[in-house]
Amino acid sequence: MGSWFAPPVGLTEPGVQMRAMPAGLHPEQIAAGVHRVAIGWGVTAANIYFVQSGTSWMLIDTAWPHRAEVIKAVAEALFGPGTRPTSIVLTHTHPDHAGSALALAETWEVAVYVHPDEMPLVGGEYRLEYSNPLDRWLVAPVMRVVPRRITARAAAKASLTHVARPLAPTGPVPGLPDWDCIPTPGHTPGHVALFRENDRVLITGDAVLTVNLNSLGCPVLGKQQVSGPPYISTWSWPMAKASVAALARLEPQVLAPGHGSPMTGAATALRHLAERQHPRARHRETGPVNEPSRGEGFLTPVDYARRTRYRRPPETYRRVSGRLGPLLTSAGLSPRDVITLEVPGRRSGVVRRTVMVRVDYDGDHYVVALAGESDWVRNVRAAGGRVVVGRGERHAARLVEVPPEQRAPVIRAYLVRWGRSAGSRVAAREARHFFGVSPDPSLEEIAGVVEHYPVFRISYGGPPDRHRGWGR
pLDDT at 73 over 90: yes
Percentage above 90 pLDDT, the chain: 45
Q: At 281, is the pLDDT very low, low, confident or very high (cuts 50, 70, 90)?
A: very low
CA-to-CA distance for 308 and 288, rounded, in angstroms?
5
Q: Report residue 395 CA to chain centroid gap.
A: 40
Q: How do strand 310-311 and strand 287-290 relate by DSSP bridges?
A: parallel
pLDDT for res 153: 85
pTM of the model: 0.61
CATH code of 315-465, in short, is: 2.30.110.10
CA-to-CA distance for 262 and 243, rounded, in angstroms?
19
CA-to-CA distance for 96 and 140, rounded, in angstroms?
19
pLDDT at 301 over 70: no
> pLDDT digits over 3-45, tens only?
333 333 333 344 444 456 666 677 899 999 999 999 988 778 9
Mean local confidence (pLDDT), 46-71: 94
Q: At 295, is the pLDDT very low, low, confident or very high (cuts 50, 70, 90)?
A: very low
> pLDDT digits over 176-234, tens only?
989 999 999 999 999 999 999 999 999 999 999 999 888 776 665 567 789 999 999 99
Q: Are 244 and 180 in contact (CB under 8 A)?
A: no
Helix residue spans in 331-462 (DSSP H): 375-382, 408-415, 425-430, 443-447
28-124+159-279, superfamily in CATH?
Ribonuclease Z/Hydroxyacylglutathione hydrolase-like (3.60.15.10)
pLDDT at 72 over 90: yes
In the chain, what are the domain boundaries? 28-124+159-279, 315-465
**3 state DSSP class of 423:** coil
Of 310, 413, 325, 445, nearest to 371 (Cα)? 310
> pLDDT digits over 329-362, tens only?
666 666 778 888 999 988 888 888 888 899 999 9
Of 317, 310, 306, nearest to 346 (Cα)? 310
Q: Are 65 and 121 in contact (CB under 8 A)?
A: no
**3 state DSSP class of 175:** coil
pLDDT for res 203: 97
**3 state DSSP class of 114:** strand
pLDDT for res 289: 43
